[in-house]
Amino acid sequence: MAEPAPDIAALTFEDALRALEDVVRKLESGEVPLDDSIDLYERGEALRKHCQARLDAAQARIERIVAGPDGQPTGTAPFDPAN
């Protein structure tokens, strides 16, 4: 891999998803040497986990906004990632 990869934690969801798609494209091409493929796979897994965490946080936030105890919309509540 020629250029240094950006820190995954600093990536937006969209940037991480594009990076993950790029990793998949490179791996599927079959033109990457074995050692680089392993590095790419590891980076892809880290990107996947980052994307999943961002999606999970967004889903929890949406659920907190729209659902009250009875499942009916109640307004908004502050999002607390500790919960």
CA distance to 39, 59, 75, 82, per residue, from 65 (Å): 39, 10, 6, 16
Under 8 Å CB-to-CB from 11, ≥6 apart: which residues?
19, 47, 50
CATH topology assigned to domain 9-66: Helix Hairpins (1.10.287)
pLDDT, one tens digit for every residue, the chain (83 residues): 445 567 999 999 999 999 999 999 999 999 999 999 999 999 999 999 999 999 999 888 777 766 667 766 666 655 555 55
- Quote the pLDDT of residue 68: 66
- Quote the pLDDT of residue 17: 96
- Chain-centroid distance of CA 44 in Å reads 10
- Quote the pLDDT of residue 1: 43
Where along the chain do its domains lie? Answer: 9-66
